[in-house]
Amino acid sequence: MRTSFVTVAAVTAVLAIGVGAACACAGAVAWRDLANNPGRYIGKDVEIVSAYCGNAGDDPGYVCSTDGSLYVRPLALVDGAAKAKLDDNCGGMDWIEKSPFCHVKLRFTPSGFHTNADYKPGKTVIVIETPQAAAAF
C-alpha cells in the first residue's frame, strides 16, 4: 500500500507541473488593458477574443483592430482556414472592415508597440507589433 501511495503522489506531482506549464499558454486579455499597459505584455503570449483583421493592402502583413483604440500589426498569420478566409474576404482597403466575416480571436506575442494618428482620424491609437499571429473564428 505504501508503494502505491508514493506512486500516486509522484504522478499527481507530475500532472500538477504539466498543468502549471499549460497555464503559461496564451491568456485572454481585454483590449483596453493591452492598450493601457502595452509594455506589460511584450514577449508574453496573449489572446484578444474580439478583433477584426484583414490584409494590409500595399503594406506588408495584416492589420487587426478592436472596438477601441488598439490595433495589432502581425507581419504574418499562421496558415489555416481563418487565414484563407481573411485573405479572400478582408482587407486591402484604407480601413478595417468590421463585419462578422472579418471578426476573429487573435493569439500573438507582442514584440513592440507605438502610437499612430493615421488609423483613426482625430484619435491616437496604440499599435502592437508582432511577427506572427494566429486567427480563429
Give the closest residue to 70 by CA, choosing from 130, 131, 134: 130
pLDDT digits (tens, 9 = 90+) for 68-123: 999 999 999 999 999 999 988 888 765 677 888 899 999 999 999 999 998 888 99
Question: Phi/psi at 43 (nearest 5 deg)?
Answer: 80, 0
Mean pLDDT of 28-56: 95
Q: Is residue 15 part of a domain?
A: no
Bridge partner residues of 135 (DSSP): 106
* pLDDT for 95: 63
Buried/exposed code over 2-34 (b: 16+ C-beta within 10 A; e: otherwise): eeeeeeeeeeeeeeeeeeeeeeeebeebebeeb
Q: What is the pLDDT of residue 4?
A: 42
CB 52 within 8 A of CB 97: yes
Span 36-49, pLDDT tens digits: 999 999 999 999 99
The bridge status of strand 70-74 relative to strand 62-65 is antiparallel
**Angle of CA points 117, 85, 63, to nearest 5°:** 15
Number of domains in the chain: 1
- pLDDT value at position 94? 59
Say which residue the cell 506588408 belongs to: 60
User: What's the pTM?
Assistant: 0.79
Q: Specify if 127 maps to a domain.
A: yes
Residue 13 lies in a domain: no
Structural domain boundaries enclosing 82: 26-136
